[in-house]
Chain A
Amino acid sequence: QKEVEQNSGPLSVPEGAIASLNCTYSDRGSQSFFWYRQYSGKSPELIMFIYSNGDKEDGRFTAQLNKASQYVSLLIRDSQPSDSATYLCAPATGANNLFFGTGTRLTVIP
Chain B
Amino acid sequence: GAVVSQHPSWVICKSGTSVKIECRSLDFQATTMFWYRQFPKQSLMLMATSNEGSKATYEQGVEKDKFLINHASLTLSTLTVTSAHPEDSSFYICSAVQGVHEQYFGPGTRLTVT
Contacts and interface: CB of A to CB of B under 8 A. Distances in A.
Of B32, B42, B102, which is in contact with the most chain A CB atoms at under 10 Å from its CB?
B102
A42 B93 CA distance: 9
Interface string B24-58: 00000000101000000011101001000000000
B43 A42 contact: no
Interface string A68-105: 00000000000000000000100010011110111100
Given A42-B107, A43-B107, A96-B32, A103 B101 contact: no
B93 A43 contact: yes
Top 4 nearest A-B pairs by Cβ distance?
A92-B101, A43-B108, A43-B105, A102-B43
Interface of B: 2, 32, 34, 42-44, 46, 49, 93, 97, 100-108
23 contacts: A32-B100, A36-B105, A42-B108, A43-B105, A43-B106, A44-B93, A44-B105, A46-B2, A46-B102, A46-B103, A46-B104, A49-B101, A49-B102, A88-B43, A88-B44, A95-B49, A96-B100, A96-B101, A96-B103, A97-B34, A97-B46, A98-B101, A98-B103
Interface of A: 32, 34, 36, 42-46, 49, 88, 92, 95-98, 100-103
